[in-house]
Amino acid sequence: MDISTAMIISAFVAAYFLWFRSITRSLNGPRLWPVLGSLPGLIENNGRMHDWIADNLRACGGTYQTCILAVPFLARKQGHVTVTCDPKNLEHILKVRFDNYPKGPTWQAVFHDLLGQGIFNSDGDTWLFQRKTAALEFTTRTLRQAMSRWVSRAIETRFVPILNTAQLQGKPVDLQDLLLRLTFDNICGLAFGKDPQTLAVDMPDNSFAAAFDRATEATLQRFIFPEFVWKLKKWLRLGTELSLSRNLKHVDEYMTNVISTRKLELTSQQNGVVHDDLLSRFMKKKEPYTDEFLQYVVLNFILAGRDTSSAALSWFFWLLTLNPAAEEKILLELCSILTETRGGGGDTSNWLDNPLLFEEIDRLIYLKAALSETLRLYPSVPEDSKHVIADDVLPDGTFVPAGSNITYSIYSAGRMKFVWGEDYLEFKPERWLSEDGKKFEAKDQFRFVAFNAGPRICLGKDLAYLQMKSIAAAVLLRHRLTVAVGHKVEQKMSLTLFMKYGLKVNVHRRDLAPILEKIGNYK
């Protein structure tokens, strides 16, 4: 190496480290390393990512900035990340400057093959049109009643018998897997009026469910690699991209058959069957929607509504095993309501032989509080991100450059002392109730972002509560659950906050006598 080359390299290295020193002073997040940026920290904390982000946010007052790779041409935009959980910032991002923070090109490119321009994966006018159309359906009482029917049917005919069998045999079951199957069957019934019956005693494989799961997993793998890498793999048909292509073909064939069959049924009104699923509702509208549009409506709805409820319920049942006082309060409320609606005297056969009615479920205020508290601590979607269109300044004074990404940590938002007080890590359903304990009091949507917030707040929020309350009540009335000996409960690092090893539980018979005695209903 000659002297001139060495001098150029030395000057380049010196210039880089001057730049690196300046950027480390301007960014207040986790430690930055030369070239690698915050990547070493991400790798080191891969198994506790959400808690690591929360730790950093606590140390930085609710917002921090970092760069994934400390490379000059990337650091300002693509590699620059702002992370926040401050409610004022969340309101600014999700409502006040909503148009400046869309899903963005990276997110849309990743999910396009699976979700197209569906409501979950679109921005601007495309999103707004679907949002307005779907909102008209989600506000109707008939859709909630349809959900209640699908949930009750699946609970009574399949879910409860499986738990009864586990109780009699004394064998543990993976409750998370059962809930995934149950909610998938429910959401498919509500979405397109067809029950795939993945929840059954023999735990059958369903080709559509399996293809949809594999396609979702393969899609999430795209987030690991830069866009050009997975696009090259897609072009060469390699690895997960080949799997994605094959499974999407199966999903497409299945949905094409469902849509064409439903069109014939609606045209001929066969056997006088009433179709009140979401697909049929869209088909009955005056607008001539394309088959592709209808397919994406259904798939977006399934993705948004299936995993979220099952994950939340898994954490809910686990939290109850750690908080027996809260479990007892849920049972006291449940038994008090059923005593009023179905009679008392200690005979609970009528309670167990017939599913809970819509009106009974609606009165379960403490149960809703417990589920909300679960979602505060373990939100089904722990992190979400937006693309920054134009330079902006957040309410806390943080400057965010155009072209960069901003992540809002839903998981961290529920675990900040400055938002929830000294008892922020406690499981405390009472924080959701009025002082007299008789009314459920919703929190500000920018403090509690488990259902998103602003214009994109979850349309299916009420349906989610209905399904979760129905399932929780059915289980708790009949069974007491304990975590199987030796089973580890850990978070799985994925788009949805699942348990890494499932939730293995032992199922015991529920003795309601002590509860009935407390409400003066046992004779």
Sign of the CA dihedral running 390, 445, 370, 58: positive
- Other CB atoms closer than 10 Å to residue 129's CB: what's the count? 13
Residues β-bridged to residue 35: 70
Q: Name the burial class of residue 7, with classes exposed (0-12), middle (13-18) and buried (19+) by CB atoms within 10 angstroms of its CB.
A: exposed
Please tell me whether 458 is known to bind a ligand: yes
Q: What are phi and psi of 424, to 5 degrees?
A: -65, -25
- What gap in Å lies between CA 513 and CA 521, rounded to an integer? 9
- What gap in Å lies between CA 494 and CA 383, rounded to an integer? 10
Diameter over CA atoms, the chain: 99
- What gap in Å lies between CA 316 and CA 301, rounded to an integer? 23
**Residue labelled with tokens 């606590």:** 58
Please give the span between the terminal C-alpha atoms of the chain, in angstroms, as a whole number. 96
CA distances from 458 to 114, 162, 172, 189, 464 (A): 20, 31, 34, 19, 10
**Residue labelled with tokens 């490379």:** 71
Q: CB under 8 Å to 1, separation ≥6 — which residues? A: none
- What gap in Å lies between CA 7 and CA 26, rounded to an integer? 29
- Grouping H, G, I as helix, E, B as strand and the rest as coil, residue 479 is strand
CA distances from 58 to 24, 54, 63, 297 (A): 19, 6, 8, 39
Q: How remote is the C-alpha of 255 from its chain's centroid? A: 23
Question: What would the two tokens of residue 255 be?
Answer: 């949905």
Continuous segment of H or E residues that includes residue 243? helix 239-268
- What gap in Å lies between CA 361 and CA 493, rounded to an integer? 33
Angle of CA points 177, 180, 181, to nearest 5°: 90
What does the CA dihedral 27, 422, 375, 484 come to, rounded to 10 degrees?
Answer: 110
Residues β-bridged to residue 67: 80
Q: Are 499 and 314 contacting, i.e. CB atoms less than 8 angstroms apart?
A: yes
- Other CB atoms closer than 10 Å to residue 514's CB: what's the count? 10
Q: Are 152 and 158 contacting, i.e. CB atoms less than 8 angstroms apart?
A: no
- What gap in Å lies between CA 261 and CA 273, rounded to an integer? 13
User: Which parts are annotated binding residues for heme?
Assistant: 458
User: Which parts are annotated binding residues?
Assistant: 458
